[in-house]
Structure 1
Amino acid sequence: MIRMLLRVLGPSYAPPVRRTVALMTATAVVEGLSYALLVPVLRALFGSTPGDASPWLIAFGVTVACYAVLRYTSDLSGFRVGTTLLHGMYHRLGDHLARLPIGWYTAGRVGKVSVLASSGVLEAMGVIAHLLAPFISACVTPLTIIVVMLACNWQFGLAALLAAPIVAVIQVWTGRAMATADAERAERDQEATGRVIEYLRAQPVLRTGGRATERFRLLDDALTGLQRASRRSTLSALPGAVGLAFVVQAVFTGLLALAAYLALGGTIGAAEVLAMLVLAARCADPVLSLTDIGGKVRAARSELARLDAVLRAEPLPEPAEPRLPDGHDLAFGSITFRHGDRTVIDDVSLSIPEGRSLAVVGPSGAGKSTLLRLLARFHDVDAGAVRIGGVDVRSVGSDTLMDRVAIVFQDVYLFEGTIEENVRLGRPGAEKADLRSAATAARLDEVIERLPEGWATNVGEGGALLSGGERQRVSIARALLKDAPIVLLDEVTSALDPVNEAAVHEGIERLMAGRTVVLVAHRLRSVERADHVVFLDGGRITDEGSHDELLRRSRRYAEYWDAPSRKQGSFAAVWR
């Protein structure tokens, strides 16, 4: 596990981890040696001159004091290194997540990453601080005692040594038996967590339907699955725990029988018998603790493996020699994009000169929003090229590309904080006048005026304390403040009430002025002013022309235009 930990964190963290492991190992050896001094102490006490025990008792006290100092030092080192590793892991995970393509963040992955970033990282990095010292002690201290027993009496030492491979086999077997059960339990736990959140979010719908007190079948199934997986995980650990306890008890019984045999034969005296049994008893406690410690270490290793899998996800490659776009014209050159086994965009070519507008029309799932995401490089195309200003977006640095693009989506996410903090994300160093100008253009000023705390109003997690229309106005104000030459709008008004829709439309009109805008919207009137219209179906262009031309000659386009209430399709428009 230490090797995996260092691979995940990087070689720079190896020296402090190795020092801590060495210190903990030395502490465990000294602990075993302190028990070894009980042998001469007991021999002297039970001998003819008990006073001879004094030097050994002093040596025992000094050794115990050394052990206490080492234990304090090793535990302190473990906590410090654990804190350093935790800090390093959070930074590395955060930096890596920031470089992953936005298309990587599916709903399922976001849930898993959120769990990993909270409890997962803490559990994996807590190994150094909480589990490593007792685990090393449970392994090294008994071995040290066995070496002492071999030196004092080879029969006792050899009998105790025979138990070591049996204990190792039981631990390996238990780990393999629990691996599948633990993985299933972790998967069921994530599923149950998702279902609980889904159930809580569905409360308005359930209560509206008068079903708030009814059992939620999907949640019940998930919790039942978690219960069964937890039971299987517990039962899979039971044979190992029972087997380990049986082996320890059997070895201790064997040592007791051997001691009686040797004592009756006159080979050793009562003092040696008592000393050997005390050492054997001190071996038993840490060995028995291996079951509990081993389970926690395996759980931490599983979390570490999941972190490793996330960190192995490949970010989109950055160009070795970044280029700057020459203008803001857009072009899709014979692009093809696949998601799994499905071809979403199939050999699409579009050219939009700067200052012109394009509308892409098609049914749901035709690939319209995907074109926007490819333009912003949420994904890389499988064939062809997406160009801005004549330059392939793969040859443009990510920071440069994002500086030229502002994005407003239907599902607006706001960070927990004030309205001002969320708007300033568009341009953190903006002047107060620019901030208020953007708010006025987005009609966010109306919202701010009626809120008691104004700009300092907390929006809550994800913007939960604001309405959908208010969140959308914050998002538009943020895009206006960024002042990017290219704006992507994805179904911005599809779920708004008429009042908020009118306000948001006004903000969008101001946002589009003087810029190139890619718009996806269910409101079909949004595309009337497009210079060119393309009908997209199944990832392919099936018809194109101006809006008026398509109304005259394309029956399917006319049906979409005449029946917007069906919400069968959406439109993407590029405006200047």
Structure 2
Amino acid sequence: MIRTLLRVLGNEYAGPVRRTVVLMTVTAVAEGLSYALLVPVLRELLGDTPSDAWPWLIWFGAAVAVYAVLRYVSDLSGFRAGTTLLHGMYYRLGDHLARLPLGWYGPARVGQVSKLASRGVLDAMGVIAHLLAPFISACVTPLTVVVVILAFNWQLGLAALVAVPIVAVIQSWTGRAMTAADAERAERDQEATGRVIEFLQAQPVLRTGGRTAERFRLLDDSLRELQRASRRTVLSALPGVVGSALTVQAMFTVLLALGAYLAVGGDVGAAEILAILVLAARCADPLLSLSDLSGKLRGARSELARLDGLLSTEPLPEPSEPVEPQSHHVEFDSVTFRHGDRTVIDGVTLSVPQGGRLAVVGPSGAGKSTFLQLLARFYDVDAGGVRVGGLDVRDISTDVLMKQLAIVFQDVYLFDGTIEENIRLGRPDASDAEVRAAATAARLDEVIERLPGGWDANVGEGGALLSGGERQRVSIARALLKDAPIVLLDEVTSALDPVNEAAVHDGIDRLMAGRTVVMVAHRLRTVQRADHIVFLDGGRVVEQGTHAELLRRGGRYADFWTVSMASTAND
């Protein structure tokens, strides 16, 4: 587990953790050796001249003082290492998440990452701060005491030594038996976390649909499954707890019987037997706590394994010698992309000249949004190449590629802050005049005027305090402020009311001016803005041409246009 912990923490923290482990081990050995001095102390106290015990008592006091100092230093080192590593771990996790491809993120990741970033990291770092010292002490101190007993009497030492492999086997067997139960419990825990998040996010829909009772059942079912999995985990641990307790008690009973036999035979003095039994009793407490500590460590190990798996997820490779495009035309050259067993984009070839406008239309599930995501390198293609300015996007560093692109998504996410702070994400170093000019161009100024607080109005988490159209205007203002040469639009007006749609279209017109544009669209007004249109279905380009050409052919696009016209007329 230490190796996994060091791998999760990275090379920067490996040294402090190793030093902490060594210090804790030395402390555990010092604790066992200090107990060894009880043998001569009791032998002299119970002998003919108890005053001879003073030198041994002084040595015993000194040994206990050394152990106390070591224990204080090692515990302090563990706490400091734990808090330092906790801070560093959050930074490392955040940096790694920021480097993962955007295509990695999906709805299933929310519960997983939120759980790892909260309880997972705390549990993993708690190993160093709270669990490592008692676990090392529970393992090393009894072994040291057994060695001490061997040094005083080999028969009693061997009897105590027999218990060591038995306890080790029981702990190992219990760990293997609990692996499946622990994995199931972690899976149920993650599922329950996702259900809770889903339940909270879906409150408006559930209440308006009158489906709260059904959703409560789904949440209750996941929590009941978690309860059952937790019960199975506890039951799996019982054999190990009982087995360890019986082994320790049996060891103590054997030592007691053997000690009495040796004392009666005159081979060992009563004082030595008493001292050795005291040592054996002192071994019992850490050995009995080993089962509880092992269970906690198994839980922490599971979190560490999940953190290790997340941190081992490879980001998309960065070019060793990155290049920067000098022009802004876009090309798809025989591009094929698969997601699992499904081919999403299949052999697509097309190009958009610099300053040109391409519209991608087609039915749901045709691969339209994936088309944009490949251009933004959310994923790498499986075959062919996506090029910007004649350069493969894989040869352009992520930072440089993102500077070339302004993306306006259909679902806009705003951070919990002011409108100005959300606009500035497009270009943090922009002046106040540039921010306000972008807001005006996106017709966001009229929204700001009616909001309490104006520019300082808080948008809420995810932009919840703004309407969908208002959030879209913020997104367009952000893209205008970024002033990137290539614009990607993903059905930005698909669910807007007429007033907001008109305002958003005005902003889009300003955003597209003089830039290379690739848009996923199905609204008539958006499609008519394109110089070239491709109809995508099943990941293939089935038709392409200008709007007029495609209508004359009377194919799939013409059917799409007819349906769209009818829908617009009904509206």
Cα offset, 1:565, TM superposition: 8.1
1:413 is matched with 413
Judge conservation of contact 2:543–2:557 (CA < 8 Å) in 1: no
The 3-state SS of whatever aligns with 2:492 is coil
Structure 1 letter corresponding to 2:433: A
Judge conservation of contact 1:326–1:391 (CA < 8 Å) in 2: no
TM-score normalised to the size of structure 1? Answer: 0.95
Alignment of 1:2-21 (within 5 A): 2-21=2-21
Residues 147-185 of structure 1: CA deviation (Å, up to 9, x unaligned): 111111222111111000001111111111111111111
Judge conservation of contact 2:486–2:516 (CA < 8 Å) in 1: yes
Query: Is 1:88 aligned to 2:84, yes or no?
Result: no
Alignment of 1:33-432 (within 5 A): 33-213=33-213, 216-432=216-432
Equivalent-residue separation in structure 1 for 2:453 and 2:397 (angstroms): 39
Equivalent-residue separation in structure 2 for 1:255 and 1:337 (angstroms): 70
1:571 is matched with none
Judge conservation of contact 2:535–2:541 (CA < 8 Å) in 1: yes
1:447 is matched with 447
Seen in structure 2, the aligned counterparts of structure 1 residues 208 and 98 have a Cα distance that, compared at 3 Å, is: closer
Structure 1 letter corresponding to 2:316: L
Seen in structure 2, the aligned counterparts of structure 1 residues 129 and 10 have a Cα distance that, compared at 3 Å, is: same
Seen in structure 2, the aligned counterparts of structure 1 residues 294 and 416 have a Cα distance that, compared at 3 Å, is: same
Cα offset, 1:400, TM superposition: 1.0
Structure 2 letter corresponding to 1:21: V
2:494 is matched with 494
Judge conservation of contact 2:354–2:515 (CA < 8 Å) in 1: no
Residues 388-425 of structure 1: CA deviation (Å, up to 9, x unaligned): 11111111111111001011111111222222221111
Structure 2 letter corresponding to 1:116: L
Equivalent-residue separation in structure 2 for 1:427 and 1:362 (angstroms): 33
Cα offset, 1:121, TM superposition: 1.5
Cα offset, 1:208, TM superposition: 2.1
Alignment of 1:524-535 (within 5 A): 524-535=524-535
Judge conservation of contact 2:358–2:517 (CA < 8 Å) in 1: no
Equivalent-residue separation in structure 2 for 1:460 and 1:239 (angstroms): 51
Cα offset, 1:270, TM superposition: 2.6
Judge conservation of contact 2:336–2:348 (CA < 8 Å) in 1: yes
Equivalent-residue separation in structure 2 for 1:477 and 1:335 (angstroms): 32
Equivalent-residue separation in structure 1 for 2:62 and 2:421 (angstroms): 60
TM-score normalised to the size of structure 2? Answer: 0.96
Equivalent-residue separation in structure 2 for 1:189 and 1:372 (angstroms): 35
Seen in structure 2, the aligned counterparts of structure 1 residues 161 and 532 have a Cα distance that, compared at 3 Å, is: same
Cα offset, 1:522, TM superposition: 3.5
Equivalent-residue separation in structure 1 for 2:357 and 2:507 (angstroms): 19
Residues 242-270 of structure 1: CA deviation (Å, up to 9, x unaligned): 11111111111111111222222232333
Cα offset, 1:126, TM superposition: 2.0
Q: What are the ranges of 5 or more consecutive residues in structure 2 without an aligned counterpart?
A: none
1:472 is matched with 472
Cα offset, 1:214, TM superposition: 5.3
Seen in structure 2, the aligned counterparts of structure 1 residues 295 and 382 have a Cα distance that, compared at 3 Å, is: same
Equivalent-residue separation in structure 2 for 1:446 and 1:260 (angstroms): 94
> What's the Cα RMSD here?
1.8
Which stretch shifts more, 509-518 or 338-347? Answer: 509-518
Judge conservation of contact 1:522–1:567 (CA < 8 Å) in 2: no
Cα offset, 1:222, TM superposition: 1.5
Structure 2 letter corresponding to 1:478: R
The 3-state SS of whatever aligns with 2:212 is coil
Residues 312-361 of structure 1: CA deviation (Å, up to 9, x unaligned): 21211112222221311111111111111111111111022223222222
Judge conservation of contact 1:487–1:518 (CA < 8 Å) in 2: yes
Number of positions where the alignment pairs a residue of Structure 1 with one of Structure 2 = 568
Cα offset, 1:567, TM superposition: 8.4
The 3-state SS of whatever aligns with 2:480 is helix
Cα offset, 1:68, TM superposition: 1.0
Equivalent-residue separation in structure 2 for 1:444 and 1:247 (angstroms): 74
1:564 is matched with 564
